[in-house]
Structure 1
Amino acid sequence: MTVSCAWASEAAAMIECLAAPNLSARHGFLGRTGGVSSGPYASLNVGLGSGDDPAAVAENRRRAVGAIAAGARLVTLRQVHSAACVEASEWAEGQRPEADALVSRKPGLLLGILTADCAPVLFEDQVAGVIGAAHAGWRGALSGVLEATVRAMERLGADRRRVAAAIGPAIGPLSYEVGPEFRQRFETEDSASAPFFRAGPRGRPHFDLPGYCAARLRRAGVGHVVDLGLDTCSETARFFSYRRATRARAADCGRQLSGIALASAGG
């Protein structure tokens, strides 16, 4: 189940902002529409490391913040497919730490994750006033980025039994064909991963990344887990997809933003 973000600013009306039913903090999972970029980046590309016009990316990021939490300060990471999680601070864009998750209890910060098939996961303990955001590709999910996020939230006062987690748009199992060596690595490193592989139409395994992420969260004791069930690869007009771009032999693709923020004292 998804709903539109009721808190989106009027200026961001052209942006599709999806909300999860189990999160109360201002948050949103955005797609690719409502921005100013063109070509393979059309139109709401927020990827600082892409080959897009930097001015267009800056405007897209401004619009994205308006759609999710107008007035908040966006903080993002140099995502490296790791299990590293850091506490968010108001670092400059050029000083973004290498990590794949961040947590905070500071109002006014919008914790942002960029994806184009990997799973964006947003977290909240409403009682403790602690939030988190994680970039969970297969490497990060397998190496424990989700569990690292929960532990970091607990250091700020959260209780994992109260934590709500929402998995946003990611490549779905019908689109995610992998090789046998991929499956073997998972089953060697995580014996509980076998149910998340199934035979595809060409006889090769397909992997359910969102389902795997949800299972890891539940195994970690997270109290409330929701998967929005949206496939970035199959919904061409709605989301950026690295897998789809690779199939089309495109040199690059855009990135969409997912984020969560605690309201500031006046907001």
Structure 2
Amino acid sequence: MCGQSVEVLRASALDGVPHGFFGRRGGVSTGEVAGLNVGYGSGDDAACISENRTKVVEAVAPGATLVTVYQVHSPQCVRVDRPWEEDNRPEADALVTDRPGVLLGILTADCAPVLLLDRQANVVGAAHAGWKGAIAGVTDATIAAMEALGANRERIAAAIGPCIAWGSYEVDDAFRERFLAEAERNDAHFSGGRAGHWQFDLEGYVAARLASQGIATVECLGEDTCAQPGRFFSYRRATQRGEAAYGRQISVIGPA
């Protein structure tokens, strides 16, 4: 896997600005997190992670500064006016900026990465939408924070990157009830499974949430992280296999 070149998935909705959804192809990490692992919390060698992150920046925006947050499955979004040190990251799950040379990064391992762009205002955002953050409104908060920088939600385009897909995401009755309590229409994102369980469409829910906030252009890449072990890291797959560690992939975007 380390002999492969770095794979970058791009969204047509985000054409014109540096961006990319990365998986595990390429990179220098080995073992259970082999490939382009960028998560310092994975137990991987820090030097490998640092080199992998450098590869990400070079593939999208050479010379830019990558900025990430300490992700906690929240609806919190922070504005990036200048880069901060890695060991001084704020706790949040989304970032926005209008500063050229800054590359916003969101780490995932089944959760949905969402990249957003108002091309006219040159304002970008990145959100980590696991189910907890998604239902709490992390994408809503990102849109509001972009507007505070001069964006207009009627112009914002969004792309949802690789995440766990409907066929791989089994949940229980209690999980489904949380979403039905928010809105009965959320039933559309569940399909029947074995007794007491359901299949959940995280990507579809996030797309619907974006649309409900007035985002007219939402591009879904439709890549299942759990079902593609050669391309993506997956927390659920690693858990099912009893693996001791799992890697994290990254999705990045920066102003033009």
The counterpart of 1:107, out of the listed 88, 95, 100, is: 100
Q: CA deviation at 1:50?
A: 1.4
Aligned to 1:184: 177
Aligned to 2:60: 68
Q: Please give the per-residue CA displacement for 1:74-100, whole angstroms capped at 9, x wherever unaligned.
A: 000100000000001310000000000
Q: Counterparts of 1:76 and 1:206 in 2: how far apart (Å)? A: 31
Are residue 117 (structure 1) and residue 110 (structure 2) matched? yes
Q: CA deviation at 1:190?
A: 3.0
Q: Counterparts of 2:50 and 2:33 in 1: how far apart (Å)? A: 13
Aligned to 2:25: 33
Where does 1:201-220 land on structure 2 (aligned, <5 Å)?
204-220=197-213
Aligned to 1:85: 77
Aligned residue for 2:164, secondary structure, equals coil
TM-score normalised to structure 1 length? 0.92
The CA RMSD measured in Å over matched residues stands at 1.3
Are residue 261 (structure 1) and residue 254 (structure 2) matched? yes
Where does 1:1-267 land on structure 2 (aligned, <5 Å)?
14-24=5-15, 25-88=17-80, 89-200=82-193, 204-263=197-256
Aligned length: 252
Gaps of at least 5 residues in structure 2 are none
Q: Counterparts of 1:205 and 1:41 in 2: how far apart (Å)? A: 29
How high is the sequence identity, in percent, across the aligned residues?
57
Q: Counterparts of 1:150 and 1:61 in 2: how far apart (Å)? A: 26
Q: CA deviation at 1:191?
A: 2.8
Q: CA deviation at 1:231?
A: 0.3
Aligned residue type for 2:116: F
TM-score normalised to structure 2 length? 0.96
Aligned residue type for 2:206: C
Gaps of at least 5 residues in structure 1 are 1-12
> Contact 1:142–1:190 (CA<8 Å) still a contact in 2?
no
